A = this chain, B = another copy of it.
Amino acid sequence: MRPGSVGTVTPQTMRFEEPLELASGARLGGYELRYETYGTLNEARDNAVLVCHALNASHHVAGRYSGENDEVGWWDNMVGPGRPVDTRRFFVIGVNNLGSCFGSTGPMSINPHSGRPYGASFPVVTVEDWVDAQVRLADRLGIARFAAVMGGSLGAMQALSWTIRYPERLAHCVAIAIAPRLSAQNIAFNDVARAAIRSDPDFHGGDYYSKGVVPKAGLRVARMIGHITYLSDDVMAEKFGRSLRTKDYAFGYGVEFEVESYLRHQGDKFSEYFDANTYLLITRALDYFDPARETGGDLMQALAPARARFLLVSFTTDWRFAPARTREIVEALVVNGRDVAYAAIDAPHGHDAFLLDDPRYHRLVTAYFDNIARELAG
């Protein structure tokens, strides 16, 4: 194990029998959440940090599974002993969202009423639904108040939602690469990705599990589209430019440019492990997220209930959720008199920067969590 790793980890599952009322009006009767924890909950039970995941990630935030290949958790560079969120001081929880394909109840799960996978009948869930499901996990783990709830991108939206729905249950909100809502362009990209999946004949209206097929071609295209939006134009130019696989143009439609090779590989890989219904569901949760919708578009009013202190981070080359979009939240919080630290990190990597260990970014998060640790100690 590399120094700084949490080492070998084991996921756990918590079952909730009480039905969950969803934003859509539907009700999910009983559900399971898959989660992982790193570090130790202290006696005061006040050093817990909840990490919310983004689109294609899961509860597997840090470390690796025993006997597995060497894939570490998606935020392994952020969470561990000596890492920015230091597991020698914090008890960190990674939780898989409802509707995911990584262990929590979702479209692939067996619907107890039918005895078959939910498939298309799995209800559309929202960021708020996820947060409502997560708070029950906190209850069961005996965590009345998190030291911090944190996440990047869609994960950051969950953290923000926590501050509105459960203001007393978190001391800090750490929201990275966030927007207060998707733009028309963001929604458009999601809709194209969904169109690719839904028009794949192997999708069968979402009920493909029983057919022994998977809409891989659609998932592949969806992931390729996603990847373009996660990277900056600059970093793509730098990583790939117009480099060719071979010396000359082949004058065909095979892989010609390195960027094609990269994208197709990402698409292929994704289509092997990700569930298409989950992709639809998670992108729709993104579309729907808009806390200011209930306050007539007034974000300040929407965030008025928040009591947490905030760290917000954006990245200069993120064109999916550009710094200006994060600043909307910063401004609304400042007007509300909240305590907000905000940094726009000059990073070349686009939206994906939140997953990378840019030193300025990690120093900032380290310093912020050091302060939280001092508060707890103090």
Q: Is A188 within 8 A of B236, CB to CB?
A: yes
A103 within 8 Å of B (CB atoms): no
A224 partner, pick from B192, B201, B242, B290, beta carbons under 8 A: B192
A residues near B, CB below 8 A?
Answer: 23-26, 123-124, 181-185, 187-189, 191-192, 194-196, 198-201, 217-218, 220-221, 224-225, 227-228, 231, 233, 236-237, 239-242, 249, 251-253, 256-260, 263-264, 267, 280, 284, 287-288, 290
A184 partner, pick from B184, B224, B242, beta carbons under 8 A: B242
> If the complex has contacts A196-B221, A217-B199, A264-B191, are A287 and B185 also in contact, measured as CB distance less than 8 A?
no
Q: Is B199 within 8 A of A220, CB to CB?
A: yes
A-B contact pairs, 19 of them (CB 8 A): A23-B249, A24-B251, A26-B251, A123-B251, A181-B242, A183-B236, A185-B228, A185-B237, A187-B242, A188-B236, A188-B259, A189-B228, A192-B221, A194-B253, A199-B200, A199-B218, A201-B201, A225-B225, A251-B288
> In the complex, what's the smallest C-beta–C-beta distance from A99 to chain B, in angstroms?
12
Question: For the complex, what is the distance from the CA of A264 to the CA of B217, rounded to whole Å?
Answer: 19
Question: For the complex, what is the distance from the CA of A183 to the CA of B194, rounded to whole Å?
Answer: 26
B residues near A188, Cβ cutoff 8 Å = 224, 227-228, 236, 259-260, 263
User: Taking the full assembly, how many copies of this chain does it contain?
Assistant: 2
Question: For the complex, what is the distance from the CA of A267 to the CA of B233, rounded to whole Å?
Answer: 25
Q: Is B253 within 8 A of A280, CB to CB?
A: yes
For the complex of A and B, the 10 pairs showing the least CB-CB separation, nearest first, are A24-B251, A199-B217, A184-B236, A124-B251, A184-B240, A184-B259, A192-B224, A191-B260, A185-B233, A196-B221
Residue of B nearest to A223 (CB): B192
B residues near A259, Cβ cutoff 8 Å = 184, 187-188, 191
B residues near A236, Cβ cutoff 8 Å = 183-185, 188
Residue of B nearest to A227 (CB): B188
> If the complex has contacts A23-B251, A191-B260, A221-B192, are A184 and B239 also in contact, measured as CB distance less than 8 A?
yes
Question: For the complex, what is the distance from the CA of A184 to the CA of B239, rounded to whole Å?
Answer: 9
B residues near A183, Cβ cutoff 8 Å = 233, 236-237, 242
